[in-house]
Chain A
Amino acid sequence: MVDVSQHELVPDHSVLEEDALEEVLDEYDIDRTDLPKIKRNDPALPDDAAVGDVIKIVRNSRTTDQAVVYRLVVE
């Protein structure tokens, strides 16, 4: 199998810890279900991610140096 995370189109995905998640949700004043989604069978998902986890994605942004976004894992 090809290591998907090595592809230049794929940014860094990592599972966000619960307390870090609280901070993020507080900062934006949203629920976790308001976050953009990522499918459970997404090839770029880390192996230890389960449905309901929030994935932290660090993109190389075109407009700033790095952009951090979050996606909720769904079925």
Chain B
Amino acid sequence: MTEVDYAVDDDMIAVVEDSDLPRRLKDNVYETLEDRGDATVEDADELAKAVEARYVDTRVEPLDPVGTVSAQSIGEPGTQLTMNTFHYAGVAEIDVTQGLPRLIELVDARKTPDTPMMTVYLEDEFATERERAHEVVWNIEATKILALGDVSTNVADMRVQISLNRDTLEERMITPEEVAEIIEDNLGVSTVQQGTDIQFGPEEPSYRDLLQLVEELREITFKGIEEVSRVVIRREELDDGDEQFVLYTEGSAFGDVLEIEGVDASRTTCNNIHEIHRNLGIEAAREAIIEETNNTLAEQGLDDVNVRHLMLVSDMMTNRGEIESIGRHGISGSKDSVLARAAFEVTVNHLLNAAIHGEIDELDGVTENVIVGKPIKLGTGDVDLRMGSTSPESGGQAD
């Protein structure tokens, strides 16, 4: 007997469990029965049967063109998406590509998104104390020299002079010695460090080299992750009323961030599906594509697109164990049929190459059969009917 958390008697449980329903629908049925209070076993049976009938009715029929239906179901709302990138005004003041450009970016499986970002969740005390949360921020956000102090050039002596700000150094947990060392490693010069002052210059007195050094100095990342240019801390309320700090970053380096102390490596995510694939695997990438496409549509008020369509897209994109784009270089371009590929894009090239290699088209798919004028193998197109010679009443079956 299955255990349920609802106040219904065993007979009711028996009839409901007997139906061909998924767990969530069964729970809904129990909930309704519980609310009624005075429901009998017959009522329960009737309800379960009715829900089951509706459920079975909504399932996809064999030979249903699910791909075509998905394409239309995403395509139509797609016409209502914004064509321009908008700023993310509400959450965290970070610019994120939205609307149509974002959707295209996702199905094209671009190597890096236009606006990479991460949502970094924190663990334990890092999530509850602002001080500790800031520690994580300094380990993520790229710190350049201009954030640490003032840089000036002394042209008379051909020296670059840095005067570091002690408070900033303390806050970001970095010592002047470390700064000097990083400069030596990166620029290949010898530095003179005294307290918070650091000096260095080119080997030969040259005005050009001096300016070159200053340029390079500005590029050095002293602390944090180079790819992450900005981090925003937000205090967010949890479901149970507690509050936690969550970090939003401009730029992403998902693998590096997961290793940082204080980062909750079980919830932190980023919007680059390739980074997710690299670090968490193909199943996580599938999940991320669904989540991202769904959010993109929902953000524009188009959340009535059934998630099954997005799941199908994501399943196709991750079917081969790596992320494939939808389009000429991905799924459409790797179809078996020459005619189907030629019908999509760059027709002549495909036909020419197929001719050179002597490719054979098996005419299994939809597109190629439409082209040659044969019935497509979908719906009634794949069912053969024949007249039977015996009547069902005589007990025999039509053959």
Binding site for B on A (CB under 8 A): 2-4, 6-11, 13, 36-39, 42-45, 57, 59, 62-66, 71, 74
Complex: A42 Cα to B281 Cα, angstroms: 5
Residues of B within 8 A of A2 (CB): 258-259, 265, 279
Closest to B320 in A: A37
Residues of B within 8 A of A (CB-CB), count: 29
Closest to A42 in B: B281
CB < 8 Å A-B pair total? 81
Which of A2, A13, A57, A64 has the most B CB atoms < 10 Å from its CB?
A: A2
Residues of B within 8 A of A65 (CB): 22-24
Chain B 315-357 near chain A by CB (<8 Å), digits 1 or 0: 1001111100000000000000000000000000000000000
Q: Given known contacts A9-B269, A9-B288, A63-B308, is B23 in contact with A4 (CB within 8 Å)?
A: no
Are A45 and B281 neighbours in the complex by a CB distance under 8 Å?
yes
Are B280 and A36 neighbours in the complex by a CB distance under 8 Å?
no
Q: Given known contacts A2-B265, A6-B265, is B322 in contact with A43 (CB within 8 Å)?
A: no
Closest to B288 in A: A9
The 8 closest A-B pairs by CB, nearest first: A44-B281, A37-B321, A65-B23, A9-B284, A64-B22, A39-B321, A42-B281, A2-B258
Complex: A24 Cα to B53 Cα, angstroms: 27
For residue A57, give the distance in angstroms from its CB to the closest CB of chain B: 6
Binding site for A on B (CB under 8 A): 22-24, 258-259, 265-267, 269, 276, 278-284, 287-288, 290, 307-308, 311, 315, 318-322
Residues of A within 8 A of B24 (CB): 64-65
Choose from B258, B265, B280, B288 the contact partner of A44 (Cβ within 8 Å): B280
Closest to B21 in A: A64
Q: Given known contacts A36-B318, A64-B22, is B281 in contact with A8 (CB within 8 Å)?
A: no
15 A-B pairs in the complex with CB atoms less than 8 angstroms apart: A2-B279, A7-B267, A7-B280, A7-B284, A9-B287, A10-B280, A13-B281, A36-B319, A36-B321, A38-B281, A39-B282, A39-B322, A44-B284, A62-B311, A74-B321
Describe A's contact surface by its main secondary structure: loop
Residues of A within 8 A of B318 (CB): 36
Closest to A75 in B: B321
Closest to B306 in A: A63
Choose from B266, B281, B288 the contact partner of A43 (Cβ within 8 Å): B281
Name 5 extra pairs, CB < 8 A, besides A7-B267, A44-B283, A74-B321: A6-B266, A7-B265, A8-B267, A36-B321, A59-B283
Residues of A within 8 A of B265 (CB): 2-3, 6-7
Complex: A43 Cα to B269 Cα, angstroms: 16
For residue A52, give the distance in angstroms from its CB to the closest CB of chain B: 13
For residue B257, give the distance in angstroms from its CB to the closest CB of chain A: 10
Closest to A12 in B: B283
Q: Given known contacts A9-B269, A65-B22, is B320 in contact with A4 (CB within 8 Å)?
A: no
Residues of B within 8 A of A74 (CB): 321
Are A8 and B282 neighbours in the complex by a CB distance under 8 Å?
no
Are A57 and B321 neighbours in the complex by a CB distance under 8 Å?
no
Are B307 and A63 neighbours in the complex by a CB distance under 8 Å?
yes
